[in-house]
Amino acid sequence: MAKKESRSKDVISREYTVNIHKSVHKVSFKKKAPKAVKEIRAFAQKVMGTSDVRLDVKLNKTIWSKGVKNVPNRIRIVISRRRNDDEDAKEDMYSFVSVADNQDTKGKGTVIVQDV
């Protein structure tokens, strides 16, 4: 019987819909946007299996676009696992989270954008 290789070291990009509304429910007004950023970071860490998660500037601007207390209900994001070129890095992979081009969320699940 052949042993299966771990896919946690592959370079891959996936598109997800994150329900921010659920994660910031019952959070005080002045903490909603920072909590949304933390929840997206935790989600990316969980699904990609990397502790190093980097957010795109456009994603941060999209979350904060309606202010600190009126964050978008749902957001479509692209998470890509990339190789770390830093010599003194603790891990050899990191996750980069950016905003998807199409923000239409109806009927869309997880989509593999690129599989290298």
* Residue % of the chain over a pLDDT of 90: 70
- Residue 92, domain member (yes or no): yes
Q: How confident is the model at residue 31 (pLDDT cuts 50, 70, 90)?
A: very high
Residue 54 included in any domain: yes
Domain enclosing residue 110, as ranges: 11-115
Classify residue 1: in a domain, yes or no. no
In a domain, 104, yes or no: yes
Q: What is the pLDDT of residues 73-100, one digit of tens each?
A: 999 999 999 998 887 778 889 999 999 9
What pTM was estimated for this model as a whole? 0.87
Residue 5: inside a domain: no
The least confident of 41-45, 84-88, 101-105 is 84-88
Considering the domain boundaries, does residue 6 fall inside one? no
In a domain, 106, yes or no: yes
Domain assignment present for 64: yes
Work out how many domains the chain is built from and give that number: 1
- Length of the chain in terms of residues written: 116
Question: The CATH number of the domain where 29 resides is what?
Answer: 3.10.440.10
